[in-house]
Structure 1
Amino acid sequence: MTLPLKGIRIADFTVHNAGPFCTQLLSQLGAEVVKVESAMRLDAFRKPHPVYGRMGPATFDQVASNKLSVRINLKKAEGAALAKRLVAVSDVAAESFRPGVMDRLGLSFAALQAVRRDLVMLSVSSSGQTGPDSHFAGYAPLFGAWGGLGELTGYEDGPPVEMRHVMDHTVGMNAAVAVMAALHRRRVTGEGGHVDVAAREVAASLVGEALLLAAAGGEPRRAGNDHPRMAPHGVYPALGEDRWISIAVEDDAQWQALCAVTGIAPDARFASEADRHAHRRELDGLVSAWTATLPAEDAARWLQAAGVAAHASWTTPEIAADPHLRARGAVVEVTEPDGKRRAAVGVPMRLSKGEDIGIVRGTPALGEHEDYVYGELLGMGRAERNALEEAEVIY
């Protein structure tokens, strides 16, 4: 058996993060993804990202790995015609522009379906392709804010918390599932279709219980690290600068185990689950006094041995170096265009049969795979390619 999407080709017009993360996931499942860019309009994430401590394009490296790269200047009519030739030999066309952009380029679903009848097209946008808010542009913080996720995230006495890349990635994962569903439908019926993913709707889907509470007359609130029932439940300071440990106690047995490990004395205030939750602030102080004197890893090991859920709150360097994640392929090594090796996030799933899911190539250089795509797939000769390059269509 091979990878589940082996034989599927995707013409990838997506930009930034949410759409590219979707197609990158699909590439790890076996799809051949051809990323379309132009020197006239590079993907914004191909630029350096000093905010993340790297002058190299860290985000682009993650979401562009595994992909092939070709140049097409979509602002020229000949570029749109070339894009259609690529779509004609593809199963999926994916885009993440503001609604209306693909139409203006001459690359609407109807126009692309004319060259590939059973095409599956994916459109990822802020608010969807239809409706009164469809014209709004948006990035990850807006998705979480508009979908209600930001309002419910943060401490009770603090402001809503901005949701960034986790929102993009969640949108991308939802889009990947939707594309696979559309491909399955096509296999059964022979029909393609247009998959419309609205990022704000993805965010709203993550706060379903709060929406139900609000519909029933309740008032959802930010709860920080609180749990509606469990206590202790939170992130507690550990020994060292900015070191923390997460602890969650589910029942009386785990509470007694925690007391045995920490030395917290029996107290009527904490006798039952309801008592502990009612006095959770005092309880947090007692737990913090114990954790603050110990390395997070030691405290977590002792609590885990006693049957209490606990773990150090890891930094990204700790995650990248973790031997367990390395052994499972959740963190892999890729090669950058300059030849340097670095860690990358692998796909978080395993299949019992078939090839291993994962990253097989690093970030593509701009236009790196045009000999294969234009030569082998589209059958273009050197003279035609040269003419398109001179006309800045392939540029």
Structure 2
Amino acid sequence: MVKPLEGVRIADFTVHNAGPFCTHMLSQLGAECIKVESAQRPDIFRKPHPVYGRMGPATFDQVASNKLSVRINFKHPQGIALAKRLVAISDVAAESFRPGVLTRLGLGYEALRAVKSDIILLAVSSSGQSGPDSHFAGYAPLFGAWGGLGALTGYADGPPVEMRHVMDHTVGMNAAVAVLAALHRRRATGLGCLVDVAAREVSSSLLGEALLLAAAGQAVTRTGNEHPRMAPHGVYKAAGDDRWVSIAVETDVEWQRLASIMGTPGLAGDPRFATQAARHENRVALDDIVAVWTATLPGAVVEAMLQEAGIAAHESWTAREITADAHLRERNAIVNVREPDGRVRAAVGVPVRLSKGGDIGIARGTPKLGEHEEYVYGELLGMSTAERQELQDDQVIF
């Protein structure tokens, strides 16, 4: 079956994480994504760095899987011309530089429209392409902090919590939806457009009721794992080294079942916990009681007992447990990919399933720098071997 975005081509000039995650998502839906870098300025995440317990480009491995790789030296005038040739055969161009950088290079929206009238240009930046703060640079922790999510994340007696990749990926997913909308509009009208995604606005869009409360003059504070109604509701220490279990109790019936399973004398009839409102009012004391019980049992045992009783509960899993999970493996949410050097590694697949839409997901591992130039420059652009060699000698393809 044909994949949803099969036939769509993306000229991918994005760097770091937010923009590349967007194009990574689109590539898993079938788009042909051509990542543009140079030996002089490779994507910073391609460089090995200590992260997630290993020395290597772990972040790049995730967001570059499935993509094709070519080199273009933007510092060379012919490099700009080559980039335009690539855009001319693409449906989408994507970038994540500071606003104005692409225009100064000669690759702004109007310049790209001149070579492809219906091009869709995705521009991902910290604060958008316009406005008084558009010149600000930014990384994921800034997006969450400036957008307000950081101030809501953490415990009431602690500082705001820095958010990293989850913020980048949320920006990328919002950008992917916007690109899909632009492609749908172009199919209906024949018109391309500039898609302007501001990362801090993505963060603010997730504040929801907190913004409404603040606008109404209400105090908005950090609440940790607490819920506005439910108790117990949190992550509790389980037996073992750094093992935890999440529990959420909504109804009085669920509470009575939990109290019975815990077997703590007098707990089921304790008036402090008799109703949902009472449990929430006395949630600190209730959390202490639940934590004493969970600490005596493996998280998997707590999970099994409570799930059987119809209570929402699960162990807090590590990344290693997730990659080995049979359920996620069966659904191809976690897949194995083979790298160019023959190494096989686990990768995160696309988190959706389509009854009609082909075998979506990751088809290949991380590309080597310039690995697909024979296909892109030779087959797609029709460049001869001699022409390509001349551009390499002149450090245009470099």
User: TM-score normalized by structure 1?
Assistant: 0.99
Question: Does residue 354 of structure 2 align to residue 386 of structure 1?
Answer: no
Match for 1:371: what amino acid?
Answer: E
Query: What's the offset of the Cα at 1:208?
Result: 1.8
Question: Does residue 307 of structure 2 align to residue 304 of structure 1?
Answer: yes
Matches within 5 A, 1:187-226: 187-226=187-226
**2:296 paired residue number:** 293
Between the aligned partners of 1:13 and 1:197, the Cα distance in structure 2 is 15
Match for 2:12: what amino acid?
Answer: D
Deviations 1:325-383 (A, max 9, x none): 00000000011232110101001000011312110011000100001100011011111
Question: Does residue 345 of structure 2 align to residue 313 of structure 1?
Answer: no
Q: Point out where structure 2 has 5 or more consecutive residues left out of the alignment.
A: none
Query: What's the offset of the Cα at 1:302?
Result: 0.3
Q: Point out where structure 1 has 5 or more consecutive residues left out of the alignment.
A: none
Deviations 1:158-212 (A, max 9, x none): 0000010000000000000000000000000000000000000000001021000
**1:93 paired residue number:** 93
Any conservation in 2 of the 1:80–1:105 contact (CA below 8 Å)? yes
Between the aligned partners of 1:344 and 1:383, the Cα distance in structure 2 is 38
Aligned length: 395
Any conservation in 2 of the 1:61–1:336 contact (CA below 8 Å)? no
Between the aligned partners of 1:375 and 1:159, the Cα distance in structure 2 is 54
Given candidates 276, 281, 296, the residue that maps to 1:278 is 281
Between the aligned partners of 1:22 and 1:217, the Cα distance in structure 2 is 36
Question: Does residue 380 of structure 2 align to residue 370 of structure 1?
Answer: no
Matches within 5 A, 1:125-136: 125-136=125-136
Matches within 5 A, 1:351-370: 351-370=354-373
Segments ≥4 residues shifted beyond 2 Å: none
**1:3 paired residue number:** 3
Deviations 1:217-267 (A, max 9, x none): 111100000000000000000001110000000110110110111113220
**1:239 paired residue number:** 239
Any conservation in 2 of the 1:123–1:194 contact (CA below 8 Å)? yes
Between the aligned partners of 1:249 and 1:232, the Cα distance in structure 2 is 6
Any conservation in 1 of the 2:51–2:58 contact (CA below 8 Å)? no
Matches within 5 A, 1:5-154: 5-154=5-154
Cα RMSD (Å) of the superposition? 0.7
Between the aligned partners of 1:340 and 1:51, the Cα distance in structure 2 is 19
Moved more, 355-364 or 186-195: 355-364
Deviations 1:73-97 (A, max 9, x none): 0111110000000000000000000
Any conservation in 1 of the 2:10–2:93 contact (CA below 8 Å)? yes
Between the aligned partners of 2:295 and 2:339, the Cα distance in structure 1 is 41
Any conservation in 2 of the 1:48–1:54 contact (CA below 8 Å)? no
Between the aligned partners of 2:394 and 2:104, the Cα distance in structure 1 is 21
**1:347 paired residue number:** 350
Between the aligned partners of 1:315 and 1:214, the Cα distance in structure 2 is 36
Between the aligned partners of 1:225 and 1:149, the Cα distance in structure 2 is 15
Match for 2:296: what amino acid?
Answer: T
Deviations 1:132-165 (A, max 9, x none): 0000000000000000000000000000000100
**2:271 paired residue number:** 268
